[in-house]
Amino acid sequence: MNKPIRAKSLTGTALALAASLALTACGGTDQASSDAKPKRAKGSEAVAVKDPLVATFEGGLYVLDGETLKLAETVELPGFNRVNPAGDEEHVVVSTDSGFRVFDAARQTFTDAEFKGAKPGHVVLHGGKTVLFTDGTGEVSVFDPADLADGKKPRTRGYTSAEPHHGVAIELTGGELLSTLGTEEKRTGALVLDRDNQEIKRAENCPGVHGEAAAKDEAIAVGCEDGVLVYKDGKFTKVDAPDDYGRIGNQRGSDLSPILLGDYKTDPEAELERPTRISLIDTRTAKLRLVDLGTSYSFRSLARGPHGEALVLGTNGVLHVIDPETGEVTKRIDAVGDWTEPLDWQQPRPTLFVRDHTAYVTEPGKRRLHSFALDSGKKLNSVTLPKSTNELSGVVAGH
């Protein structure tokens, strides 16, 4: 059976330019537990890093300079950890076995801001707010990332789902909160709450709901096992997949484009399906287009470019730049060597993270990290790290 996977969804003006992705990727449902507190590896006193990147590896975090890719610091942190932008120019959110922790990437140290809870899941940035969803409790926490500056836990808007589940939530610019519906066994759709957390809309025609993304004009989509569910202008609209089972579990949006980028899977019995087609969902017309890239990809392969381009890193090592309006591949950037997606979603594989006009791509088989200029396709820098990395993210502000 398909196991839930998560990719980070980064929305808003700057977030349309950044994806890992990763994200989405699932929450830490099988994270190793450890009572050990993270500590900085031996070395000189930390020097502030501009536009830092943060990569996870087995047992810790690497902090790197966003331009030179120089390794600035190694921070020890036991367990399986995940990383997402926090929404400002200094911090990232690290998902650990105990919950979400805020890491000052510029100064390479954890702050006192922590959101405890089992199975920390999606981190969503949109409209100047950061939203955390804790799968093990169903808790949603919304905060302004500017409030992270003092190193303390920020004031939050809270909401708790009727039942814990592998979910996601996003706050709209008008104050509405969209959150998924489900239980640990079954996920069915989404609801919308007003500023006072009173329900105003609900849709339960989205089986297996997973992931979110925001498009131009604040069209919000969540993925289903038979298409996507779009919330726009106060209404839910279902965009049906062309197949009875057409799962779109990971999406990427841009506020420069009304078209969303999604994955596309059609085999509900597969232990791991390696699709070659991606989906392009037009939120204006509620139509879905499939594009076959001729190569497979993973949930950490999707991102959006600075002009709204759809970006997909294939297992053939090529970064595909796609016009979302036509589905045409307009550029192919040779990024890494051929690779195969591992069966275990927690195992390393090449990961794509985009910030502004730069694409960062990991190559864990060679312990490498590369950066590319998206406009020209030129490789900017490469670095070899002490250990293979897993997830990759960085600071992203201005959403």
Q: pLDDT for 329-343, tens place per residue?
A: 999 999 999 999 999
Q: At 48, is the pLDDT very low, low, confident or very high (cuts 50, 70, 90)?
A: confident
Q: pLDDT for 314-334, tens place per residue?
A: 999 999 999 999 999 999 999
Measured on CA atoms in the order 49, 381, 393, 283, is the torsion positive or negative?
positive
For residues 272-293, give the mean pLDDT: 98
For residues 298-311, give the mean pLDDT: 98
Amino acid 387: pLDDT: 97
Query: Does residue 350 have a pLDDT over 80?
Result: yes
Mean pLDDT of the chain: 90
More confident residue, 144 or 397: 144
* 291 torsion bin: left (phi>0), alpha (psi -120 to 50), beta (else): beta
> Looking at 3-12, 33-42, 101-110, 383-392, which range is the least confident one?
3-12
Q: At 19, is the pLDDT very low, low, confident or very high (cuts 50, 70, 90)?
A: very low
Q: Are 305 and 321 in contact (CB under 8 A)?
A: yes
Amino acid 308: pLDDT: 98
- Percentage of residues in the chain with pLDDT exceeding 70? 88
More confident residue, 16 or 256: 256
Amino acid 398: pLDDT: 64
Query: Does residue 43 have a pLDDT over 70?
Result: no
- Percentage of residues in the chain with pLDDT exceeding 90? 87
pTM as predicted: 0.90
- Residue 189 CB coordination number (10 Å): 19
DSSP assignment letter at 265: B
Q: Which two tokens stand for residue 116?
A: 């405890």
Q: At 169, is the pLDDT very low, low, confident or very high (cuts 50, 70, 90)?
A: very high
Query: What is the SS3 assignment for 13-38?
Result: CCHHHCCCECCCCCCCCCCCCCCCCC
Amino acid 399: pLDDT: 59
Amino acid 47: pLDDT: 78
Query: Does residue 386 have a pLDDT over 90?
Result: yes
Q: Are 295 and 315 in contact (CB under 8 A)?
A: yes
